[in-house]
Amino acid sequence: MASSDRTAEIWSTRLQRELLALTSVEDDKDHIETLPDFIKVTNHELDIAKAVCTVSFEIEVEYEEKEEGETEESAEKEGEAELKKDHVSVTLDASLPTKADGTVDASPSSYPFQKPTAVLKSGAHLFPDGSTVSDGDFVEIDCDWTPSLHLNDAILNVALKMRESIRRGEPYSKAAPPKTSTSGAASSFVADNVLPNTKKLSAFFSSLKSPSGFSMASITDDSGAATGPSPSAAAGAARSLKGPSRTSIIASSKPKPTPDNLKIGDVIDLSDDPWNRCAGMYSCKAIRRPAFMEKAMGEAATSQKPKPGEFPGEDENEVPSGSGNYMKLQSGGIAKVASSGFAGAKSMFGSFTQSAKSVLEESFLMITDELIIELRSNKLNIGSGTVTFSLPIAMLAKLKFRRQESLSLFFKEAPDDPLIFMCPQSASAVQEIQAVLKRHGVKGKHTNAATQRAIQMALALVAEIQTKEKSLVNGPTVEKVDEIMDLYRQAAEKFEVAGDPRHEEVMSHMHKFLAKPLVMSILDGSYGIINKKKAGSTNVPEGEVLETARYDDDDHDDEDGGAARSNAETPKTKFKGSVEAAIDHADAILEEAKQDLMNMDTDLEQMLSSEEPSTPEPKSDDRDAVAELDAMLSAADKELEDIMAS
């Protein structure tokens, strides 16, 4: 099948599938062709014979209509105005280009290998002032186009930019007309002269890769006459008669890729076990890779790249022998003889092959029970794939995804450097990964922006609790305990809202806090009483004189006796004078006692000299007077000793 026919077949198959999905009544949110509510398909045309495909869309836009004389400041003061709705019509053209003579040019420069063109059909009056677009102008599809994108991706890109421009009042510019394809004369010259010669040369050099093809290689000149096999071809044929080539031996001895020995660059058959039992395989495109992954891929590419002038299967250390090895006997091997010519041609055609592969290949994310594999495969025939990278699923640390947009994988080796894929089926991929992890006994939780904010607030509350618990020791009050308990409750609620199991740890810490002796004494009020008892049990300060004994003397009404009672009734007497003053005070007490003795002797003499007969009276008064005198003398001596001791 010719290249143009193959391109036309890809174009027609792809557009039929996309139009069927766009015009389907069923709305499957997980399908990659699903459009949002503000985009509707109004009309479509597909003529495979004429290679024409156009799809018309109606985009719903919102704008604020200002009244005459109303300014933006007045509108802001009155409040947000009610948004009005209208529609803009855009047509996507995914037709194949045509030559100057009107024939179809099915080349790789057309859809789906290149993005379609977009034309604004109506609604130019809705764009704000300063916009250069008008009805009938081309509009830009601002995205890095790859064959994995679809018509819905193109119209979604255009619709979002138009809606934002009209909503925010930003000018919208038209796009330059698409470049015309190669002229008919130039394209016919390339088709008639360049392409046939290129094919002949490519066929010759590709035949050199295998011994069987090399032995039958021949080149035809412009007249169509065969020139016959070259001497190198004859040598290759002789070598093929000798036995199996080294290339076939290496290929047969290479171990079959398994999950245990899978490496970068291995080709796996997706119909073989265990690859046919994978959990899921999703179309993706890597837009960022971790540093360790980039390093490993670079090392693998360097090791797999052949050296200049080296052909696969050529053994430079082989000892040349036999008539079939004439060239090796003369020059040391084919690689050394033809390295300058063949190596350069091989590099040139290898770059052509690589470019074609990059156009037709698509990346996929395969999830198995043990590995996460990124592989490349032909999007038209997914029978085998080349491993781009593989990692054990046990190395996965965290998953992030945006529904129908992207998927981020965080690995333990680089927790801050994720592997990011553009993946339309990101939600399904995450569900499959979670199912595999659950089978391995790994538990995870689903978080979003709200739950992350709740977790951050809960962690801040826990830090505040720790600070307040430390300050409680210095100022223990019931109010502070209540405040800490309220913080514990808030932190537990935040963790529970986020579905975080740490809310149980918070409740456990709260119970431990209430069980502390300090907190219990604060709550039952015993903490203040204990402090008062401790304060009352302090020692008597030095220099303080305790209260002296008090004695009543009701038998004497003289001035000296009254002075003695007043001194005895003083609660606390502090002597701050010198030692001489204390001795004088003690002498005064002794003098008082002596005066009392003298008075008592006078009373006895009067009793003895009295002529009246004495009547027997009780002797209790005499005993009281003597006892009182002894007590006074004892008190004076004790007070004197205390003064001397102080």
Separation of alpha carbons 384 and 355, rounded Å: 19
**DSSP per-residue string spanning 68-114:** TT--HHHHHHH-PPPPEEEEEEEEEE-PPPB-TTS-B---TTSTTTS
Separation of alpha carbons 539 and 155, rounded Å: 92
Q: What pLDDT is attached to residue 119?
A: 92
Residues constituting the chain = 646
Which pair of structure tokens corresponds to residue 245?
Answer: 């080539």
Q: What pLDDT is attached to residue 521?
A: 86
Q: Which amino acid is at 215?
A: S
Residue 119: how many other CB atoms lie within 10 Å: 17
pTM of model > 0.75 = no
Strand arrangement of the beta sheet that strand 384-392 belongs to? 267-269, 384-392, 371-378, 361-367, 280-283
Q: What pLDDT is attached to residue 532?
A: 53
- Are the CB atoms for 513 and 484 separated by under 8 Å? yes
Strand, helix or coil at 624? helix
- Are the CB atoms for 106 and 4 separated by under 8 Å? yes
- Are the CB atoms for 426 and 401 separated by under 8 Å? yes
Q: What pLDDT is attached to residue 50?
A: 83
Separation of alpha carbons 58 and 541, rounded Å: 98
- Are the CB atoms for 478 and 522 separated by under 8 Å? yes
Superfamily classification of domain 3-65+82-181: Ubiquitin Conjugating Enzyme (3.10.110.10)
Separation of alpha carbons 335 and 337, rounded Å: 6
- Are the CB atoms for 509 and 468 separated by under 8 Å? no
Please give the average pLDDT of every successive group of 10 residues along the chain, which has 646 residues.
72 84 62 72 86 90 66 49 82 84 72 86 88 89 82 87 86 80 43 54 53 41 43 44 46 70 86 83 87 88 65 48 48 50 56 60 87 84 84 86 84 88 86 86 70 85 90 86 90 86 88 88 73 50 48 46 45 48 74 72 60 49 68 80 76
Upstream peptide bond of 112 is cis (omega within 30 degrees of 0): yes
**DSSP per-residue string spanning 580-607:** HHHHHHHHHHHHHHHHHHHHHHHHHHHH
Q: How far is CA 113 from CA 33, 109, 450, 494, in A?
A: 18, 6, 40, 50
Q: What pLDDT is attached to residue 203?
A: 60
